[in-house]
Structure 1
């Protein structure tokens, strides 16, 4: 990825910005069709028959779950405007009787493997697949070299016989000088309510889930892409991919053929929506609150 200083290249999309908190306010209005892709959740199964002296159960299995699995287990309904808080009854995560635990949905970040899967559809739907613009919100901690490091304190009991030290935390990858200068000084792409920087990229780069490791965008070793684009569009303006930082779903806006291809791809959990769709927490009027 290469810093892009010509923020005027996004003026065409700014002119199409729709209402706040609506699909068109995130991905732009006027496209033929829209698909909403739900960000999968991390799940783990623990062995409830075994626990250590602190009451912790050992982990036996991990998986990536679609929202439909959580909805099925929690007797909720899947539909185009479904919200995570609604299908989990306002819980951030859920635990089930068979030992499975579902974590929190990911906001503002489309998993790199799913972005790579979508890249094939996106590349086929533009005349300029190697001339893409990626917009990143400047508030990401990774872009500002902030860390989530910690100091581990142990008691004498914990460091005694039989105690095992936790694995060493991963090292932080630095933000490149070019990206740092762009984040610090701009120029900025001023999407409504979101200040972003622009970088040049292409379908070949994004089709590799590990592109983030050499992108200069910072993050942690072992995490292939700590931040993913809030907006992505081709020079031909045929489509937009949008991941609003406060939403746990990504929008693909484009032609009827592109959206149909995304909806038919079993690697993603997707629904068709329209530009006026409300994807705030209150937008799910099907899974209403129930008594605990």
Structure 2
């Protein structure tokens, strides 16, 4: 996975970007069809008859991946193409949902398209491009672990008061750890230095990737960005060199958009591994 220095490879998207928060402003306009894939939900069924631990959590009896429609069946909401999560959950805050039968349901992930779902999507993407070995992946430049802005915090968790010796040892350790962290951050910034793709609402680091790579859901285990190996980001934008389609997972979005030919979108909508709906470029998902 190499850094793409020629950011003009993404210039074709600039005139396609419509209003912020719209489908066309996220994945680009001018395609035949569009699909919205809702991000699945992590759910656990708790044994609430058992005592809770120190964090207020009960033992977990089983775990499952839920769809938005599973939650809607309990809240009375209707899942439609442009539905926001707050309508499905019936909540304006960002807390888990807890149901009387013990199920606890988390929020849909934002800015993250599960590698397993991306791997499934590659089956359809491969058939819809002539350049499956020549793709560009765009990562948002604002992630703290990629732009050198992450902060190291050193603390002490103990009910006893620190002695003078312990305080001195902790201060010495904190100073050393902070210096090591700063050196690592400076090295990361240096390794990723270079131009960024500037779209109307975000700036992106570009990487070269292939569909066979993404077809393996464990690809992130060995992926390296510059000198940084252990990064946890899936693409914000992904497109092949022939520009046949674009996949977009906006940083603050809890769904992934696919734009491309009608056949591709029809395949995505028919794939029961996804909870997907057809949308249009002018739909507002903000």
Change (3 A) 1:91 1:267: same
Partner of 1:112: 115
Residues 263 and 272 in structure 1, CA contact (< 8 A), matched pair in contact too = yes
> 1:269, CA displacement in angstroms?
0.7
> 1:178, CA displacement in angstroms?
9.4
Which structure's CA Rg is the greater one?
A: 2
User: Quick one: which of 126, 129, 134 aligns to 1:126?
Assistant: 129
1:260-275 alignment to 2 at 5 Å? 260-275=266-281
Residues 241 and 253 in structure 1, CA contact (< 8 A), matched pair in contact too = yes
Q: Which moved more, 1:143-152 or 1:94-103?
A: 143-152
1:125-274 alignment to 2 at 5 Å? 125-144=128-147, 146=150, 151=155, 153-155=157-159, 180-181=189-190, 183=192, 185-217=193-225, 218=228, 226-274=232-280
Distance 2:39 2:16 in 1: 25
Partner of 1:26: 26
* TM-score normalised according to structure 1 size: 0.82
> 1:86, CA displacement in angstroms?
1.5
Partner of 2:50: 50
Distance 1:148 1:262 in 2: 42
Residues 5 and 187 in structure 1, CA contact (< 8 A), matched pair in contact too = yes
Unaligned runs of 5+ in 2: 161-180
Residues 223 and 229 in structure 2, CA contact (< 8 A), matched pair in contact too = no
What SS does the corresponding residue of 1:122 show, helix, strand or coil?
A: helix
CA-atom RMSD, angstroms? 2.5
Partner of 2:11: 11
After the TM superposition, list the runs of 4 or more consecutive aligned residues in structure 1 that deviate by more than 6 angstroms.
147-150, 175-179
Q: Which moved more, 1:142-151 or 1:106-115?
A: 142-151
Distance 2:71 2:152 in 1: 29
Distance 1:233 1:53 in 2: 46
Change (3 A) 1:207 1:20: same
* TM-score normalised according to structure 2 size: 0.83
Distance 2:125 2:201 in 1: 26
Change (3 A) 1:198 1:182: farther
Q: Which moved more, 1:89-98 or 1:265-274?
A: 89-98
Number of residue equivalences: 259
Change (3 A) 1:277 1:148: farther
1:79-118 alignment to 2 at 5 Å? 79-89=80-90, 90-92=92-94, 93-118=96-121
Distance 1:61 1:149 in 2: 35
Distance 1:70 1:18 in 2: 32
> 1:153, CA displacement in angstroms?
2.1
